[in-house]
Chain A
Amino acid sequence: MGCREWETELTDWVLDELPPPKAQQLEAHIGECEECARSAQRLRGVRQALVSGLPNREMPAHLVLVGEKPQGLWPGFWTAFLRTAALSAAAAVIFLAVASVGFRYGGTRFLPAAARVERTLTRTELQALVAQALSEQASRQRKEMQAATMDLAASLRAEQIRNMDSLQQQLQYLELAQNTVWKETQRQNAVIRLVARNQLQPLASSPADPSRR
Chain B
Amino acid sequence: MGLEISDRPDAALVRDAMRGQPEAFNALVRRWERKVYSFLVYLTGRPEDAFDLCQEAFLSGYRHLGQLKDPQKFPQWLFRIARNAAHSHARREREEETSLKDLDVPEGSSSLKLGEAGQWERGELRILVKKALARLPLEQREAIVLKFYQGFKLAEIAEIQGCPLSTAKTRLYSGFEQLRKFIGD
CB <8 Å contact, A69 and B20 = yes
Q: Secondary structure of the B side of the interface?
A: helix
A118 CB to closest chain B CB (Å) equals 57
Using CB atoms, name the residue of chain A closest to B120.
Answer: A49
On chain B, the residues within 8 Å of A125 by CB distance are: none
- The reply on A51 being an interface residue by CB < 8 A is yes
- The reply on B129 being an interface residue by CB < 8 A is yes
Partner of A180, one of B56, B115, B172: B56
CB <8 Å contact, B115 and A59 = no
Given contacts A49-B114, A49-B128, A53-B125, contact A15 B22 (CB under 8 A): no
Q: Give per-residue flags for A33-55: 1 if the beta carbon is below 8 A from chain B beta carbons, else 0.
A: 00000000011011101111111
B126 CB to closest chain A CB (Å) equals 5
A180 to B128, CA, bound (A): 34
| CB < 8 Å A-B pair total | 101
Q: Using a Cβ–Cβ cut-off of 8 Å, how many residues does chain B contribute to the interface with A?
A: 49
CB <8 Å contact, B55 and A63 = yes
B154 CB to closest chain A CB (Å) equals 6
Given contacts A11-B176, A69-B20, A191-B96, contact A54 B148 (CB under 8 A): yes
Given contacts A60-B47, A187-B92, contact A50 B129 (CB under 8 A): yes
Using CB atoms, name the residue of chain B closest to A16.
Answer: B153
Given contacts A45-B115, A46-B180, A59-B33, contact A54 B129 (CB under 8 A): yes
On chain A, the residues within 8 Å of B125 by CB distance are: 49, 52-53
Given contacts A46-B183, A69-B20, contact A53 B37 (CB under 8 A): no
B103 CB to closest chain A CB (Å) equals 14
On chain A, the residues within 8 Å of B55 by CB distance are: 63-64, 176, 180
- The reply on A57 being an interface residue by CB < 8 A is yes
CB <8 Å contact, B62 and A66 = yes
Using CB atoms, name the residue of chain B closest to A43.
Answer: B180
Q: Give per-residue flags for B137-154: 1 if the beta carbon is below 8 A from chain A beta carbons, else 0.
A: 000000011011100011
Q: Give per-residue flags for B64-96: 1 if the beta carbon is below 8 A from chain A beta carbons, else 0.
A: 000000000000000000000000000010011
Enumerate chain A interface residues (CB-CB to B < 8 A). 11, 15-17, 42-43, 45-47, 49-57, 59-69, 176-177, 180, 183, 187, 190-191, 194
7 nearest A-B residue pairs (beta carbon): A53-B129, A57-B38, A50-B148, A54-B149, A65-B26, A66-B22, A53-B125
Enumerate chain B interface residues (CB-CB to A < 8 A). 20, 22, 25-26, 29-30, 33-35, 37-38, 41-42, 47, 50-52, 54-56, 58-59, 62, 92, 95-96, 114-115, 120, 122, 125-126, 128-130, 144-145, 147-149, 153-154, 172-173, 176, 179-180, 183, 185
Question: Knowing that A57-B34, A68-B22, A191-B96 are A-B contacts, what are 19 other residue pairs whose CB atoms are under 8 Å apart, sorted by A's residue number?
Answer: A15-B154, A15-B173, A17-B154, A42-B180, A46-B180, A46-B183, A50-B129, A52-B122, A52-B129, A53-B128, A55-B126, A57-B37, A57-B50, A62-B30, A64-B55, A65-B30, A66-B62, A67-B22, A177-B59
